[in-house]
Amino acid sequence: MQGEAGLKKVMLVFGTRPEAIKMCPLVNELKSRPDEFRTVVTVTGQHREMLDQVLRVFDVTPDHDLAIMKPGQTLFDVTCDVLLKLKAVLEEEGPDVVLVHGDTTTSFAAALACFYLQIPVGHVDAGLRPHDIYSPWPEEFNRQAVDIVSEYYFAPTKASKQNLLDEGKRAEKIWVTGNTGIDALRSTVREDYTHPELEWASDSRLILITAHRRENLGEPMHRMFRAIRRVMEEHPDTKAIYPIHMNPEVRKAAHGELDGFDRLRIIDPLEVLDFHNFLAASHLILTDSGGIQEEAPSLGKPVLVMRDTTERPEGVAAGTLKLVGTEEDVIYREFSRLLSDEDEYVEMSQASNPYGDGHASERIADVLGGNR
């Protein structure tokens, strides 16, 4: 089935900041091929301000905005609103294929809507598997559910492809493309970048912190912050910047444990261009985020992952990531070691990046255009 004038109509649906960072390079690659594709962008607005920032950086204007975000929204709200509002858009546009990314509730609900309307789904970042449906929650369910209904599997790594094969997915529907998040870095990281916060930290080793996962809310997050503060108090040559998530529970925990420590600054969320350049300027990263586990290694930055599981074992195997969980003493020990042991630091920072070469979007477009 082809869209107007023989072009393949490709709709991309995404709703959160991390999805937008991964999908905008693909939007722009598809739009650069107007002889092959009619590209339609639908955002759900599962995130709002943080999503809009990314759209501006990549100069992407949505064709449809479902604008679902509301105060105190639950997973029930997001799922139902996306499912119902997307139905009308899909029926109006009649796309040949819908691309979703990763593991968000937007992606799950969009894939389900496409399944109900029998529209083929392409899953970008397919095949990631920590194999614990409650960690990360609800993301691990979301990504497995999307893979049940997908026609195209764009796996970032060979290990992701193997996960899909192990589940009985057909090899001819799986393509190893690399990670589109690495594509994004090619257009955002700049040699001449400056920022007042980076100038503040320029006389020290900069530690970049991100922490926001649902399963870490409450006591795990308090333990993480206490460990970070203890280590930094023992290493006066460090400064930390923590661009904090909008979630009020995250903010309460962070301010409760970290306020009053003058070498750690809690700042508002950074736009993607700024954040990528902060990554590039940092000495190491402490995170519970998913995407950063891919982005930081491509910049040669060691990452301590404050989670019990990861769906990105390639980074752990390559040596660029280390899982440290959420126990205070373990985070304290591993963070201290990276600051004190130069050999350990060099080994992690020079490990190869398993997530691709920055050309994933081109490969995905080639597949959709029938060129691979």
Would you tell me how many other CB atoms lie within 10 Å of the CB of residue 134? Answer: 11
Give the model confidence (pLDDT) of 198-221 as tens digits. 999 999 999 999 998 878 888 999
CA 352 to chain CA mean position, Å:
20
Comma-separated ranges of CATH 3.40.50.2000 domains in the chain: 4-179+356-368, 196-349
Residue 4 has what pLDDT? Answer: 56
To the nearest 10°, report the CA torsion of 290, 291, 297, 301: -80
| DSSP state string for 276-315 | HHHHHH-SEEEE--STHHHHHHHTT--EEE-SS--S-HHH
pLDDT tens for the chain, 372 residues: list them. Answer: 455 567 999 999 999 988 999 999 999 999 999 999 999 999 998 888 878 989 999 999 999 999 988 888 899 999 999 999 999 999 999 999 999 999 999 999 999 999 999 999 999 999 999 888 888 889 999 999 999 999 999 999 999 999 999 999 999 999 999 999 999 998 899 999 999 999 999 999 999 999 988 788 889 999 999 999 999 999 999 999 999 987 888 889 999 999 999 999 999 989 889 999 999 999 999 999 888 888 888 899 999 999 988 888 888 988 999 999 999 999 999 999 999 999 999 999 987 788 888 999 999 999 999 876
* Cα gap 57→209, rounded to integer Å: 22
> What sign does the CA torsion over 83, 89, 95, 99 have?
negative
CB 245, CB 212: distance < 8 Å: yes
Closest CA to 353 of 191, 198, 186, 143: 186
> What sign does the CA torsion over 120, 118, 86, 137 have?
negative
CATH topology of domain 196-349: Rossmann fold (3.40.50)
The reported pTM is 0.82
Cis bond before residue 138 (omega within 30° of 0):
yes
Helix (H, G, I), strand (E, B) or coil at 294: helix
CB 361, CB 355: distance < 8 Å: no
Residue 268 has what pLDDT? Answer: 92
CB 275, CB 196: distance < 8 Å: no
The residue with tokens 């083929």 is 120
Residue 1 has what pLDDT? Answer: 43
Helix (H, G, I), strand (E, B) or coil at 192: coil
Residue 327 has what pLDDT? Answer: 96
Residue 126 has what pLDDT? Answer: 97
Residues in CB range of 98: below 8 A, 6 or more apart:
10, 11, 12, 13, 90, 110, 111, 114, 119, 120, 121, 122
- Joined together, the tokens standing for residue 60 give 């992407």
Element (DSSP H or E) covering residue 198:
helix 196-201
Backbone angles phi, psi at 240, to 5 degrees: -125, 145
Instruction: Return the CA Rg of the chain.
Output: 20
Domain 4-179+356-368: CATH architecture, name and number where available: 3-Layer(aba) Sandwich (3.40)
